[in-house]
């Protein structure tokens, strides 16, 4: 629910570290702020994807309003990472988003309720559409990471329900953790959670991010870890904590520079050149993710 806690930083970093084993990795951006899209595609490629309608909002427009049989595959841009690993570009692909997503989501609710569909039916419709697309797409990718906007949208709710794993980046301070219990209650344990027939989301994994050694953060972190003793805990917590590091903010700003002829600047950085001191934290997080997913 909270903004600015490091959701996009986690998706971008994790995608590159997971793809460093040269396994196909897809990032789906569900945020109209399009932060993950700009980090990977850079401004000129993103502009061209938006122009062609090859974005998540373009996909929804085609499928729901224009009745065109567009699939995720038609909108996905391959090879978007600017990182090289052992001389090879990391195999990261992107299903981008754009600011139009906000309008499309509003239109979706407005037009479909006007045509007599209940909100539950709209969520059902989007759930089935995304489920069908993800089951087609997942055959081509080892990992699919979905970057969500702050707050709960229909798309976010549906993707939380469809995900094999839900990561909740959280700054360990009072305001960032304030909504955590209610977020868990709404989707997992409370009355609202039981109102729907749709699949319940997997129990979330809280990732402590932007960690600073302050008294308040130390105290909140200790409180978060106390959840492990609760029977049953409302959420899991990763062992890895991601510190507040300039290297992370800088890495997010490192998009490719395209010259006027469309050529991309080379040589590309390696993972450790791009993520610097934060690379070991991302690698440790990736190991935990793999263990949870595959028990590896
Ligand atoms: N561990 C970190 N250390 C330092 N800066 C960070 C860290 N994680 C994220 N940032 C910076 O904090 C800001 C917010 O991060 P990010 O965009 O990842 O958050 P978000 O949760 O995706 O935000 P939103 O809710 O708006 O989508 C960005 O400027 C990013 O560069
Ligand atoms: Mg974000």
Confirm if 113 and 120 have CB atoms less than 8 A apart. no
Q: Where are the domains of the chain?
A: 7-294
H-helix or E-strand spanning residue 8 = helix 7-19
- Give me the pLDDT at residue 257, please: 54
Q: Residue 50: which H helix or E strand, with range?
A: helix 35-52
- What pLDDT score was predicted for residue 268? 84
| Strand 167-170 relative to strand 88-89, pairing | unpaired
| Ligand 1: lining residues by beta carbon, under 6 Å | 3-9, 31, 33, 35, 149-150, 209-210, 242, 244-245, 248-249, 252
pLDDT at 23: 97
Q: What is the pLDDT of residue 60?
A: 97
pLDDT at 261: 59
Q: What count of other Cβ atoms lies within 10 Å of the Cβ of residue 181?
A: 13
Tokens 């993707």 sit on residue: 159
- In tens, the pLDDT along 236-254 reads 999 999 999 999 999 998 6
pLDDT in tens, 15-34: 999 999 999 999 999 999 99
Decide: 72 and 95 in contact? Cβ < 8 Å. yes
**What pLDDT sits at residue 260?**
53
Helix or strand (DSSP H, E) at 100: helix 100-114
Tokens of 274: 């791009």
Question: Cβ(41)–Cβ(80) under 8 Å?
Answer: yes
Strands of the 205-211 sheet, one edge to the other? 167-170, 205-211, 236-243
Q: What is the pLDDT of residue 190?
A: 60
Rounded mean pLDDT, 283-289: 98
User: How high is the mean pLDDT of the chain?
Assistant: 92
What number does the ligand 1 atom closest to the CA of 148 have? 27
Indicate which ligand has the atom closest to the C-alpha of 169: 1
Q: Which pLDDT score, from 0 to 100, does residue 71 have?
A: 98
> What residue's CA is closest to ligand 1, atom 9?
6
Q: What is the pLDDT of residues 159-186, one digit of tens each?
A: 999 999 999 999 999 988 888 887 887 7
63 CA from centroid of ligand 1 (Å): 32
Rounded mean pLDDT of 76-80?
96
Ligand 2 ion local residues (Cβ < 5 A):
7-8, 35
Nearest alpha carbon to residue 203 among 292, 294, 82: 292
The pLDDT, as a whole number, for residue 87 is: 87
What's the CATH superfamily of 7-294? P-loop containing nucleotide triphosphate hydrolases (3.40.50.300)
Q: Under a CB-based contact definition with an 8 Å cutoff, are residues 60 and 74 in contact?
A: no
Atom of ligand 1 nearest to the CA of 169: 21
172: burial class by Cβ within 10 Å (0-12, 13-18, 19+)? buried
Q: For residue 45, what are the CA distances in angstroms to 3, 125, 250?
A: 26, 31, 20
Q: What does the pLDDT look like over 102-123, one tens digit per residue? A: 999 999 999 999 999 988 899 9
């Amino acid at each position: 629910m909270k903004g600015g806690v490091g959701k996009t930083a986690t998706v971008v970093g994790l995608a590159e570290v997971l793809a460093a084993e040269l396994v196909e990795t897809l990032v789906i951006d569900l945020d109209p702020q399009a932060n993950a899209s700009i980090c990977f595609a850079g401004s000129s490629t993103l502009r061209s994807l938006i122009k062609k309608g090859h974005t998540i909002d373009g996909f929804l427009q085609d499928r729901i309003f224009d009745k065109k049989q567009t699939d995720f595959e038609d909108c996905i841009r391959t090879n978007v990472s600017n990182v090289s690993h052992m001389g090879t570009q990391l195999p990261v692909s992107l299903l981008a988003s754009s600011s139009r997503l906000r309008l499309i989501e509003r239109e979706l609710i407005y037009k479909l309720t006007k045509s007599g569909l209940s909100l539950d039916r709209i969520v059902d419709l989007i759930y089935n559409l995304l489920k069908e697309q993800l089951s087609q797409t997942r055959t081509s990718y080892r990992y699919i990471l979905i970057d969500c906007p702050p707050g709960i949208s229909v798309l976010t709710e549906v993707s939380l329900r469809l995900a094999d794993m839900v990561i909740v980046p959280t700054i360990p301070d009072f305001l960032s953790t304030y909504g955590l219990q209610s977020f868990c209650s709404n989707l997992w344990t409370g009355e609202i959670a039981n109102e729907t027939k749709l699949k319940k989301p997997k129990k979330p994994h809280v990732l402590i991010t932007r960690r600073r050694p302050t008294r308040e953060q130390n105290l909140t972190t200790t409180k978060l870890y106390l959840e492990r003793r609760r029977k049953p805990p409302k959420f899991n917590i990763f062992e890895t904590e991601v510190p507040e590091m300039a290297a992370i903010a800088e890495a997010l700003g490192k998009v490719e520079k395209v010259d006027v002829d469309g050529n991309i600047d080379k040589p590309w950085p390696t993972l450790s050149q791009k993520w610097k001191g934060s690379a070991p934290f991302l690698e440790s997080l990736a190991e935990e993710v793999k263990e949870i997913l595959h028990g590896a």
